Every structure is written in C-alpha cells, then in structure tokens.
C-alpha cells in the first residue's frame, strides 16, 4: 500500500474499499448484539422495554398501529424517556385505506411575549436551553389525542391505561435516575420539579434509586381528568372522535390549561390561555424524494427531515456502493453531502405556517442536488460549505441573497478535543428525544419521534406536566436564519425526524432515532446500509456511522465545528490517516449508530422485521 506524506494513495484506497465492501456484507455485519425481531401480526419498537410492552398490550387488545403508537408515546412521556408530557410529537402515518402518508405536526409554538427584543433585553444570544422561558406550548397531549381520534380505533381510556398505571408508580430505570441526580441543582430552582423528581431530598443522593417505585400522583390525576372527560362525553351520546376531542379541549382550554398557565407564569414563564387555546395540531402532507425508485417521506421544514432527502438527492449522483461501506471515500461523500444539506437546513428551514415561505421545492429539486454534487471537493473537506441558492430551481429570485452572502459556517467555532464517550460529550448536540415504530397486519405503519420536556424539566404546577425546552432552537437574528426567528405563535425548527419509505407503492421501512442534530445523519446511513449494502434491519441499526459537527447545532449555543467527524473506535488506522489527510479532526465513540429503531415490511413473505440499536435501551416486541 503506497503512502504519500502519510496519505493512503490510490492503490491503498482501493484496497481499503475492497476490504470494507467485504465487511459490509460479511462476518462483521452479520454479528449483532441484539437479534432481529420477526412478526406476522404486529410490531412495537421504542426507547424503553416497558413502553414497548405498553404497545404490545394495546395490540393484544386488538388495537391498531396508531392506537399502539399513542399508548407508547404516553408511556415514554410518563417514564421521562428523554421527553415529558409537555413536549412535542411529530409523526408519519401510512393509512392503508387511502394508501397515503400523513404528517402529524404537534410541535408547540412560542408564547406571547417571546420576541427577539425580549430575549436580547435579558442579554441572551439565543432563547435559553432550560427553565420556564425555554418552553413552547405543550404539543404531545394534542398529538396523541388527534392521532387517536383520527386514525385509531380504541378509546382514550384504554390507550392511556398503561401510562396511568405507570404514573401511579413504576420501577424507574437507571438512565433516568442518573439524569435526575446529575441535574438536581437545576431541578431545585423550580419548586414543582423538586417535589416530583427529588424523592430523597436532603440525602447524599437525592434522585430516586434504580428500581425504586417512582410515583407521579399529579400527572396521574391529569391523565384521569382526560379519561373522565372522554367517558362523560360518550355517556352524553358523543361519537368516539368527539369524545376524545372533548378531552383535548379540557387540556388546552379548561382547568388543566388554567393550571399550566398559572404555574408557568408563577415560575417566570410566558405561556397564556390564549396561547394554549389558539394552538392546533396540523395534519399535513409530508415531503418526499425518490432514491433508486424508493419513495422516502419526511415531515417538511419545521423539522430537519428534508435534509436527509437533500443528502440522498446529492448522493444519487454517485455510486456509493462501489465506494465500499465506511471506506474513506464513502465517509467523505457522506460528510460532504450532509454539510451541504445541513447548511441549507440552518439557513432555509422554519415554520411553514408563518412567513417567509421556505423554498422547499427548490431545495428538493433533483437539479439543485446535481449542482450541489458538482461542488464537492473529493480530495479534502470544505470547512466553509455555505447554504446554496435553491430559488432559481423553483423559478424565483432569492429574497435573502444579501444575508446568504454574509453567512458563515464558522459561527461559534470552538476548539476540538478528542472524545471517547459521546454519551457524556456534546450533550446539547445529542439532546432529547425517543422514537416509536409500529406496524400491523391491516397495513397501518407509524413512525414517531416525540421529544421535549426532558430532565431537567419545569413541572407545570399540580398538573405533573413537564414543559418543553424547544425555544432554544430559535434564533434572534435573521442573519442566522430569516425563517427561524422567534415570534409569538411560531414553531421553532426542530431536529425531530420520523421516516417512512415505500417501495413499489407499499410500505417498506419505518425508522427514526433519537439524538438531536445527529438524527438525520444516522438515518441517512441506516437507509444506505439497507438499500446499498444489503444489511438486514438489525445489522443496519447497529452498524457504525459517522457524525458531522459542521452544521450549527440546534441547541443552546448553536455551535459549529467544521471538519470534526465522530467515527467508531473500531475504525482501522489506515482509514483514520486517510480521513485526517483530508482535513478531518477525528473523535471516537465505542457505539456510533445512534439508538435507531426500525421496522422493515417484508412483502415477499407478508411479515415484519424489527430492529433496535444496541446503542441504548431501545426495545421491540413482535407477534
């Protein structure tokens, strides 16, 4: 193998490509820490074993995949699986009756008074990452209720039963107790949070112990109020759907809303009754691109999902399979495509329900992707990748050309130190979220990435509801992004990104992952693992990925680290040297796939294959 100044030459690169191509389909790829799941009738996969059990219980009672998904979101929210009840829910649902994919937008909005001037008056560069001023309006309750009313079959009473039992008391898990103990100083700033989370106040360890029965009586009472309202409406002759929506009104317009507002304002927050009453869940058409004939669906620009579609469009102009799985050239191609797609995300993505209008048609244009692909430097990383100009590809002139010209990817650049444990490093970059995948034999398929209200959350008074921290995703200056400047009634552009793929017009994959800005990076590579490298769904969930930090982080200080790449500790020395010669600064992790969860629909055999990464506690059950 020839080297030039430490760089692996062409012959060496081809050898590495051959080696990695073998590994992708050979012995290494076949070894997985978890077995692939198989099911004929249904599949339920999510971030915690107990929550997967909740979904299984609903399926066993003849609920459909939407019923099960709603029960699983409710359970994970009750377990604080990196989210709480006051967070946000976004979903993609395949409806076998209409043969269409539906998007569910249950992301809260900035409250009254949340303006750039307000936050700047507090000497803040961005809205805060924690506390009552970090909260948008709660979205997850509305998302569950609307999904259930529109597409489910069961009553709210039945679907919330597992979550209510858990709120009455469940054996809390080590991951959550560790988060509570680490964040106890901040939790003590908010009286209702302190009362809920710190069950051993005054002791050396103030958080619950793993396995301890963790009780949330206020939350249990709130959930019972929703069920009570539904049952009263049914007795009064209301339809199933109208009865569920009566519970929706109680949460957003009734006594629950009043306590949320009272306690939030008491603790320094801004949410008003008008904010809650005026908010709504949107059922919307998702965006889609094709990759080698496969239709890949994502929610639109209020999340980062279209960035994965843009990256697929760019990569479609080369033969990634021939590069070899995780060869230096493949890693470089992935990194450059993501740099371009995420630079567009950072500048052009925002709430499509408020002006200005995002140029999504141009962003997802195949011709735009071809132009972006043509700008890739195949010899080295480009640390200065900027957003492109998609407007000409939809027949328009860019109204923000001056801002675009002044934009830089290096805002907030910080020194990079090697890191070997991503669970304790870059907390903001990987913040938040769980994932939920369900499918049933009728043909319903659901992918959800609920999030927000994670520990440490501000508890809204006697409701037991933990408020969102999504305000931090906004910017205060249109020079950062003219589409994502905070204003009352606007949704922040979030990282949450469920995914559905259809092949030959029928569901093929449901997949999502937790992990902030890493989500669509890991999902892009998971998808390519399946489509290009012939991995099964479990292999694709566990296979090592790279992560880029070149985009601006969505969280907290919105830092950007051009050239930094996370790779697996198992990456061979020659590959490391080749990447470093291309200008990358490498950091390392033992597990780099992210906690992906996925379901593959096997049309040949009429069965389902489930995968849950070995990265965390993700778990699935099938039948």
What is the tens place of the pLDDT at every residue in 213-223? 999 999 999 99
Name which of 37, 12, 25 is nearest 599 in CA terms: 37
The tens digit of pLDDT for each residue in 9-38 reads: 333 433 333 334 434 433 345 689 999 999
Helices first, then strands: H and E counts in the chain? 23, 21
Structure tokens at 426: 């870059």
Would you state the pLDDT for residue 514?
83
Residue 497 lies in a domain: no
Residue 276 lies in a domain: yes
The tens digit of pLDDT for each residue in 361-418 reads: 999 999 999 999 999 999 999 999 999 999 999 999 999 999 999 998 655 444 433 3
Task: Give all strands (DSSP E) within 269-410, no chain letters.
Answer: 282-284, 287-291, 294-298
Q: Return d(Cα 272, Cα 152) in angstroms, integer.
A: 31
Residue 302 lies in a domain: no
- Domain around 158: 63-92+108-283+449-473
Residue 228 lies in a domain: yes
CA gyration radius, the chain: 23
Q: Return d(Cα 516, Cα 500) in angstroms, integer.
A: 19
Residue 490 lies in a domain: no
Would you state the pLDDT for residue 339?
97
Q: Return d(Cα 72, Cα 50) in angstroms, integer.
A: 9
| Contact present, 108 and 460 (Cβ < 8 Å) | no
Tally of structural domains, the chain: 1
Residue 184 lies in a domain: yes
Q: Residue 593: is its pLDDT beyond 80? A: yes
Structure tokens at 358: 């995002």
Alpha-carbon dihedral 121, 123, 124, 130, rounded to 10 degrees: -90
Q: Return d(Cα 596, Cα 614) in angstroms, integer.
A: 9
Residue 6 lies in a domain: no
Residue 188 lies in a domain: yes
The tens digit of pLDDT for each residue in 412-436 reads: 444 433 333 333 334 444 445 689 9
In this structure, what DSSP letter does residue 56 have? H
Mean pLDDT of 453-459: 96
Name which of 523, 567, 561 is nearest 308 in CA terms: 523
CA distances from 329 to 95, 368, 526, 564, 569 (A): 39, 23, 18, 16, 18
Mean pLDDT of 183-203: 97
The tens digit of pLDDT for each residue in 267-309 reads: 999 999 999 999 999 999 999 999 999 999 999 999 999 999 9
Would you state the pLDDT for residue 334?
98
- Spacing of C-alpha 404 from chain mean position: 27
Q: Out of 137-151, 288-302, 553-567, pick the least confident.
A: 553-567
Question: Residue 593: exposed, middle, or buried by beta-carbon count in 10 A (0-12, 13-18, 19+)?
Answer: buried
């Amino acid at each position: 193998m020839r080297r030039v100044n430490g760089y692996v030459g062409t012959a060496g690169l081809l050898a590495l490509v051959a080696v990695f191509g073998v590994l992708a389909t050979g012995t290494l790829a076949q070894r997985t820490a978890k077995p692939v799941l198989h099911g004929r009738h249904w599949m339920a996969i999510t971030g915690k074993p107990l929550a997967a059990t909740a979904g299984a219980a609903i399926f066993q009672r003849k609920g459909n995949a939407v019923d099960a998904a709603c029960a699983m979101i409710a359970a994970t929210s009750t377990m604080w699986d990196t989210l709480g009840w006051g967070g946000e829910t976004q979903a993609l649902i395949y409806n076998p009756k209409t043969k269409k994919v539906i998007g569910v937008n249950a992301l809260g909005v900035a409250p009254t008074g949340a303006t750039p001037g307000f936050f700047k008056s507090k000497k803040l560069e961005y809205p805060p990452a924690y506390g009552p001023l970090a909260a948008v309006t709660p979205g997850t309750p509305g998302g569950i209720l609307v999904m259930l009313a529109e597409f489910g079959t069961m009553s709210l009473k039945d679907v919330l039963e597992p979550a209510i039992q858990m709120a009455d008391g469940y054996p809390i898990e080590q991951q959550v107790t560790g988060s509570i103990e680490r964040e106890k100083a901040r939790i003590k700033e908010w009286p209702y949070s302190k009362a809920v989370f710190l069950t051993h106040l005054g002791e050396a360890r103030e958080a619950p112990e793993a396995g301890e029965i963790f009780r949330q009586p206020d939350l249990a009472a709130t959930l019972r109020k929703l069920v009570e309202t539904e049952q009263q409406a049914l007795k009064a002759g209301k339809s199933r759907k109208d009865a569920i929506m009566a519970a929706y009104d109680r949460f957003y317009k009734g006594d629950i809303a009043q306590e949320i507002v009272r306690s939030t304002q008491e603790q320094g927050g801004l949410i008003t009754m008008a904010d809650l009453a005026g908010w709504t869940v949107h059922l919307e058409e998702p965006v889609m691109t094709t990759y080698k004939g496969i239709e890949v669906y994502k929610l639109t620009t209020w999340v980062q999902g279209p960035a994965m579609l843009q990256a697929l469009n760019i990569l479609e102009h080369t033969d990634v399979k021939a590069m070899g799985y995780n060869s230096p050239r493949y890693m470089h191609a992935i990194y450059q495509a993501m740099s371009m797609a995420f630079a567009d995300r950072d500048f052009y993505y925002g709430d499509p329900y408020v002006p200005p209008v995002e140029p999504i048609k141009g962003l997802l244009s195949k011709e735009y992707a071809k132009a972006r692909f043509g700008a890739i430097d195949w010899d080295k990383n480009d640390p200065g990748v900027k957003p492109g100009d998609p407007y000409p590809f939809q027949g328009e002139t860019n109204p923000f050309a001056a801002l675009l010209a002044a934009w830089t990817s290096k805002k907030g650049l910080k020194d990079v130190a090697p890191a070997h444990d991503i669970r304790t490093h870059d907390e903001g970059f990987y913040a938040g979220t769980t994932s939920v995948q369900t499918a049933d034999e009728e043909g319903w398929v659901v992918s959800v990435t609920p999030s927000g209200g994670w520990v440490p959350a501000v508890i809204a008074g006697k409701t037991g509801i933990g408020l969102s921290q999504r305000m931090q995703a906004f910017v205060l200056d249109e020079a950062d992004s003219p589409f994502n400047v905070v204003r009352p009634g606007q949704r922040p552009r979030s990282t949450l990104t469920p995914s559905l793929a259809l092949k030959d017009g029928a569901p093929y994959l449901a997949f999502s992952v937790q992990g902030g800005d890493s989500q669509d990076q890991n999902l892009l590579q998971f998808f390519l693992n399946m489509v290009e490298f012939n991995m099964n769904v479990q292999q694709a969930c566990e296979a090592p990925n790279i992560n880029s930090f070149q985009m601006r982080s969505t969280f907290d200080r919105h830092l950007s680290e051009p050239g930094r790449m996370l790779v697996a500790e198992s990456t061979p020395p020659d590959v490391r040297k080749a990447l470093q010669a291309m200008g990358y600064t490498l950091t390392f992790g033992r597990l780099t796939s992210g906690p992906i969860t996925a379901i593959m629909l096997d049309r040949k055999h009429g069965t389902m294959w489930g995968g849950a990464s070995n990265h965390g506690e993700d778990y699935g059950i099938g039948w």
